[in-house]
Amino acid sequence: MKGIAIVGGGISGLSAAFALEEQRRAGVPLQYVLFESAPRLGGVLVTDRVDGCLVEGGADSFLTEKPWAADLCRQIGLGDQLIGSNDAARKTYILLKGKLVAIPDGLMFMVPTRSLHILFSPLFSFSTKLRIAREWFQPRNSPADESVASFVERHYGAEMVDRLADPLLAGIYGGDASSLSVRAVLPRFVEMERTHGSLRRAMVAGCEKIRQSSPAPPLFTSLKNGMQEMVDAIVARLDPSALCLNTAVQDIQSEADGWNVSAGGQSAFYDAVILALPAGAAAKLLRTSHSELASELRGIPYSSSVTVALGYERKVRQSLPPGFGFLVPRCEGKRVLAATFVHNKFRHRAPEDRALIRCFLGGSRDESILQLPDDEILRIVREELRQTLGLVAEPLFTRIFRWKGAMAQYNVGHLERLERVERLRQQIPGLALTGNGYRGIGVPDCIRSGEEAAEQMLAKVGLSAVIARLL
Ligand SMILES: Cc1cc2nc3c(=O)[nH]c(=O)nc-3n(C[C@H](O)[C@H](O)[C@H](O)COP(=O)(O)OP(=O)(O)OC[C@H]3O[C@@H](n4cnc5c(N)ncnc54)[C@H](O)[C@@H]3O)c2cc1C
């Protein structure tokens, strides 16, 4: 019987555990143990119910176009619980000189596809509008890695970076457009530049194809009862005796044919180890036995974030602008990076007589927010909502979630670092790395990487042949 240890019980570790459990149930002779330092599983996926509202502490949904999360939900019996975002109400605002300005229709991420909407939008100055028009003639190009800011500036100018690219990336990655790698974060745009030169020309060609196919699916998918539902359904399918909560792994040491894993004051031998941790935490465990790999992993930075949910009565819901929420460019000098009007983004999140707003703070430029006490964070959020939305009403409830070092930053050179990490990892038998530090921070990417880690380790311990026989 082969034994595999999984360290970390976020969605990456849980996906790896579920993949192993499926094999075990099919008759593959293996045992696994999942170690989680916290008293609960799920990592940054956590859902609270307050006053009839469904409050997400971390991720609230996943991108529909990445299939791995929805596929897993179907496998664990949640296919009928999947819901799409309410895209008919999709409108996002940018705070510009203290006022909310709608991102014009016809912008896909930051690539304009319909000129007229852009032409009349107050979001961009006349000179940026000219740049946008000229971008059509951008020559094909395939440069070395560069920051998202530099890539976007080459195509549309600095204003597009400040007003759109940077706030979007701060909202998604808690990151900084001048540090994040365009190859790691926006690989599709790099490919579009390589094949078409102009992103707009590439997008128009792509849109043509999409128009000829079926109607567009919703941009985001979630679960009726929140993201925690996915965690609970996976956990319900795992072997309860394999789950070690409140058990931080302190050390792992490779031996001739496996690993000695020390956790909770005890050590045990496993044939393989899957580290489903933030890269820095994985580096800590590898620092003595594999220092070169540990040092590469330490080089992947993480940012922290705070989410604040505020519930209000019906009057507030009626007074808010329509749409999904707003983003705040750095030059506005605020600490709230983005806010979601949750009651508009998804049905089933708030009753008709409630408004639910979720604000994001922190990111790579404001780590210090994490040190503030709850009442100070709330004071800042309420003051900035007053300035931005004129919202002075007393919230019916508030919830604050702190996520220290939870968001990987794929800075320039990230993909080259991953190549070095992979080369070093392959020299170490029976070690897999999964988590949001490597090839995608979104929930679907983490699920895919967890499943791949499980497959890699099954092959490593010689069980892929057994699986093939069973199939
Ligand atoms: C505020 C926020 C909002 C987000 N929104 C979205 C979104 O809407 N859509 C989307 O797709 N993605 C979103 N993401 C990203 C996505 O949720 C995460 O990238 C993903 O859930 C990370 O999962 P993970 O398992 O890799 O890591 P984590 O969830 O961080 O799990 C790692 C686990 O390892 C445990 N651990 C650490 N050290 C040890 C140790 N030594 N021993 C044992 N256990 C240990 C930790 O306690 C933790 O439970 C968001 C992230 C955040 C923080």
Domain contains 55: no
Is residue 287 in some structural domain? yes
pLDDT digits (tens, 9 = 90+) for 1-11: 889 999 999 99
Cβ 58 under 6 angstroms from ligand 1: yes
Same domain (yes/no): 134, 166 = yes
Whole domain around residue 355: which residue ranges? Answer: 303-408
Tell me, yes or no, whether 222 lies in a domain.
no
| Domain count of the fold of the chain | 3
Q: What is the pLDDT of residue 462?
A: 73
Which pLDDT does position 348 carry in this prediction?
84
Choice from 274, 436, 439, 447 to test ligand 1 binding pocket (greatest atom count within 8 A of CB): 436
If asked whether residues 370 and 381 sit together in one domain, one would say yes
214 pLDDT higher than 70: no
CATH number for the domain spanning 269: value is: 3.50.50.60
In this predicted structure, the answer to whether residue 167 has a pLDDT above a threshold of 90 is yes
Over the stretch 367-395, which tens digit does the pLDDT of each residue have? Answer: 999 999 999 999 999 999 999 999 999 99
pLDDT mean across residues, the chain: 94
Residues 401 and 332 in one domain: yes
Decide if 88 contacts 463 (C-beta within 8 A).
Answer: no
Nearest CA to ligand 1 atom 11: 442
Answer yes or no: do 419 and 334 share one domain: no
Q: Is the predicted pLDDT of residue 464 greater than 90, yes or no? A: no
403 alpha carbon to ligand 1 midpoint, in Å? 9
Q: Report pTM.
A: 0.95
Asked whether residue 434 carries a pLDDT value surpassing 80, the answer given is yes
- Tokens 């992979």 locate to 422
Q: Give domain status of residue 314, yes or no.
A: yes
Instruction: Flag whether 270 is in a domain.
Output: yes
- CATH number for the domain spanning 349: value is 3.90.660.20
Confidence of residue 211 (pLDDT cuts 50, 70, 90): low
Q: Are residues 307 and 404 in the same domain?
A: yes
pLDDT: is 462 or 31 the higher one? 31
- Pair (375, 387) in one structural domain: yes
Residue 134 belongs to a domain with what CATH number?
Answer: 1.10.3110.10
Whether the CB of 7 sits within 6 Å of ligand 1: yes
Q: Are residues 321 and 456 in the same domain?
A: no
Say whether both 271 and 414 belong to one domain: yes
131 shares its domain with 208: yes
Q: Is the CB of 60 under 6 A from ligand 1?
A: yes
Residue from 33, 277, 369 to probe ligand 1 pocket by mutation (most atoms less than 8 Å from CB): 277
Does 367 reside within a domain? yes
